[in-house]
Amino acid sequence: MAMAMYPGIQAKAQAEIDGTIGSRLPRISDWDSLSYVRCVMKEVLRWKLTLPLAVPHACTQDDMYKGYYIPKGAIVIGNSWAISNNPAVYPDPDRFDPDRFLDPAVPDAPAFGYGRRICPGIHHADATMFLTMASIISVFNIRPPVDVEGRPRPMKADIAMDEAVSSIASSFLGTLAAPTNSTLFPRQLAQVITKCTVPNTVALTFDDGPYLYTYEISERILQAGGKATFFVNGNNYQCIYHPDNVNRIKYLYEKGHQIGSHTWGHKDLTTLTWDQVHDEMWRVEQALMRIIGANPAYMRPPFGKYNDNVLRASAVRGQKVAIWDFDSGDSAGISAAASKGRYDDVTARRPSNILTLNHETYEPTAYTDILPHAIAKLQAAGYRMVTLSECLGESPAAAYQSQGPPATGSWSC
């Protein structure tokens, strides 16, 4: 349930497994090296405690505890739920956050009891859960269940927990508990998108922002009745957390443009290790979740370069890799006239659809030359300017793996 609701956390755990042990299945000897997986396990036990109340016990003699008189024979029931949701110990306890257990001072939740009455099989249970969780995460992507039309069903923690408890109860009663939709999908290479599929559409995409010309690009496209897709970096031309860039990202999102990942520092991902690739991806995803509350479903690798390592990492992160079938050439140093000539050529050939590559960091592209010319040519040829997800026949919501409220605070690169 937690992994389906929080794909970014699932991806982080998978990255640790892949980067530490490679393609083999986890072993109990990996306990110390898979520290984040253990944090996930601890948070699962804390976040939705299986037994919210401890097993009742009776006092064998009169007792005083912190000023309370407890007579002999009184039934004492520990409130494990209250302990696990104590905000003084676990800030924002309703939030699923394995990172809280990276601090060794944070105590484990009392899933197995406490004191002298703690479960004697706790170590066996921990080892079994560790191997089970780590093995499932290493082999599968866990996603929300889907409805009859294949659309993800919204998940809420309380509802999902109720369904899980009902399923367990059915199993104990001898009834086969068979969910209508599996949430386990074998891990594989990410899908590479090189062209649109919907006829008469064009996806205008812009890389390397946010930058000085974000507003101008957006307004020109909006005034023409279209939408665009912006693949943003975290720290390329300027830090994404700069107030101006935060405002640009929020503006694009509010206007209905699609925002995708272009990684953190615009590095050639094919030259990086597994861990370095995930770091480049994770940091910009984290920034977007902080700024707009959305985790992008599409990633464009810098320079359009990728290999199997990059595709595996993208798949782990639940993302598709977006390339293009038309390059305006604006980043290659060609003149504005040459870029306009490329738009003249493609509209004259009139393919069914076009997936473009542009860069919002070039002033001629932004508003002095190329974009106005491109919009006029594309509209005259009968193309609709839509987002990448829409040109693939998906709903606008499919642009993101998850959407929720943004975070509050300030951050730096």
List per-residue pLDDT tens for the chain, 413 residues long: 888 888 889 989 999 998 898 778 899 999 999 999 999 999 999 998 888 888 898 999 999 988 989 999 999 998 999 999 999 999 999 999 999 999 999 999 998 888 887 889 999 999 999 999 999 998 888 888 766 555 667 776 555 445 544 444 444 333 333 333 446 766 778 999 999 999 999 999 999 999 999 999 999 999 999 999 999 999 999 999 999 999 999 999 999 999 999 999 999 999 998 889 989 999 999 999 999 999 999 999 999 999 998 998 898 888 999 999 999 999 888 899 999 999 999 999 999 999 999 999 888 777 678 999 999 999 999 999 999 999 999 999 999 999 999 998 889 99
Taking CA atoms, 68 is separated from 63, 64, 71, 238, 346, in Å, by 8, 5, 10, 60, 82
The answer to whether 242 and 287 are in contact (CB under 8 A) is no
pTM over 0.85: no
Q: Are strands 184-186 and 192-193 parallel, antiparallel or unpaired?
A: unpaired
Q: Which residues of 359-395 are buried (b: 16+ CB within 10 A; e: fewer)?
A: bbbbbbbbeebbbebbbebbbebebbbbbbbbbbeee
CA distance from start to end of the chain:
32
Active site residues: 207, 359
Q: SS3 of 259, please? A: strand
Helices 243-254, 274-291: inter-axial angle, 10-degree rounding:
70
119 is an annotated ligand-binding site residue:
yes
Query: For residues 8 and 286, is the Cβ–Cβ distance under 8 A?
Result: yes
Tell me which DSSP letter residue 149 carries: T
> Quick one: tokens of 219?
């307004």
Judged by DSSP in three states, 386 sits in: strand
Q: What is the pLDDT of residue 146?
A: 67
What pLDDT score does 4 carry?
86
Non-local CB neighbours of 377 within 8 Å, separated by 6+ positions: 343, 344, 347
According to DSSP, the residues that pair with 76 across neighbouring strands are 57
Structure tokens belonging to residue 223: 């005034």
Q: In this structure, what are the phi and psi dihedrals at residue 116, rounded to the nearest 5 degrees?
A: -70, -15
| Opening angle at CA 201, ends 254 and 341, nearest 5 | 105
